[in-house]
């Protein structure tokens, strides 16, 4: 049960990390200050969720064995390092977005410099497309990792189901053996009872024969 919860938390952290990566790319090339604020709000929420997920993982460490606990502790340390890296990327993208938004607003106010404005917008769009493509690739990698994790989980569940069926069959065989032993015990009891009856009859017949012989000898002698 604890291992299933650990796997769910790890999958959740992977999903959140992928979303943070995508949003950082969008934030970095955000065309307006309003969009930047929206992305920053979403990223703050995702970073908080990631922190809480890692805290839940650290709590689950207590329910694992020594070997599993050491492995999970090492993975959590790597997750913490990855989360700090994402925070650094977020701060860098936020700073670039603020600078870019300021430049765009300044260019929009300068009506005499239309050519530069158009050129800057094209550069922004080109950079934005490249960042989105990179983010899409990272998101695809995250989805692939999730699918692989789901496949592993399905394989484990299949193995457990097969083991459960084997145990059920063994239990049914044991019940059949117990039933057969009960019937054999009853037959043995009946045989022992009949043997005792036969011995008793034998003793009675022997007694009668002895008495008859004694009576015959008595009359013979007298």
- Domains of the chain: which residue ranges? 2-172
- The per-residue pLDDT for 93 is 87
d(CA 200, CA 158): 63
The two tokens of residue 179 are: 């039933």
Q: Please count the CA atoms within 13 angstroms of the CA of 56 that sit on its side-chain side.
A: 18
d(CA 99, CA 36): 11
End-to-end C-alpha distance for the chain, whole angstroms: 98
For the domain made up of 2-172, give the CATH fold: Methane Monooxygenase Hydroxylase; Chain G, domain 1 (1.20.58)
d(CA 101, CA 65): 52
Q: Which residue carries 């943070």 as its tokens? A: 20
- The per-residue pLDDT for 108 is 65
Q: Which residue carries 């090492």 as its tokens? A: 74
- HEC profile for 65-110? CHHHHHHHHHHHHHHHHHHHHHHHHHHHHHHHHHHHHHHHHHHHHC
- Nearest residue to 26 via CA among 106, 118, 100: 100
- The per-residue pLDDT for 204 is 85
Q: 19-42: per-residue pLDDT in tens?
A: 999 988 888 887 778 888 888 899
Other CB atoms within a 10 A radius of the CB of residue 7 amount to: 15
Q: 44-54: per-residue pLDDT in tens?
A: 999 999 999 88
Whole-number Cα distances in Å, 210 to 34, 61, 213: 124, 87, 5
CB burial string 85-96: b at 16+ within 10 A, e below: ebeebbeebbee
d(CA 160, CA 152): 12
Low-confidence ranges of the chain (pLDDT < 50): 112, 115-116
d(CA 162, CA 199): 56
């Amino acid at each position: 049960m604890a291992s299933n919860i650990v796997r769910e938390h790890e999958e959740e952290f992977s999903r959140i990390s992928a979303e943070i990566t995508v949003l950082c790319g969008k934030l970095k090339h955000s065309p307006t200050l309003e969009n930047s604020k929206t992305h920053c709000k979403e990223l703050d929420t995702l970073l908080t969720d990631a922190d809480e997920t890692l805290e839940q993982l650290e709590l689950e460490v207590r329910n694992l064995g020594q070997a599993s606990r050491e492995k999970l502790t090492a993975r959590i340390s790597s997750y913490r390092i990855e989360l700090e890296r994402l925070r650094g990327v977020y701060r860098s993208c936020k700073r670039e977005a603020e600078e870019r938004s300021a430049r765009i607003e300044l260019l929009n106010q300068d009506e005499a410099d239309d050519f530069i404005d158009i050129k800057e917008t094209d550069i922004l769009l080109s950079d934005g497309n490249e960042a989105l493509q990179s983010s899409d690739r990272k998101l695809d990698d995250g989805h692939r990792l999730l699918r692989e994790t789901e496949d592993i989980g399905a394989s484990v569940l299949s193995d457990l189901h097969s083991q459960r069926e084997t145990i059920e069959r063994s239990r049914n065989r044991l019940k059949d053996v117990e039933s057969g032993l009960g019937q054999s015990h009853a037959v043995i009891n009946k045989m022992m009872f009949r043997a005792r009856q036969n011995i008793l009859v034998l003793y009675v017949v022997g007694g009668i024969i002895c008495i008859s012989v004694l009576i015959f000898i008595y009359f013979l002698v007298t």
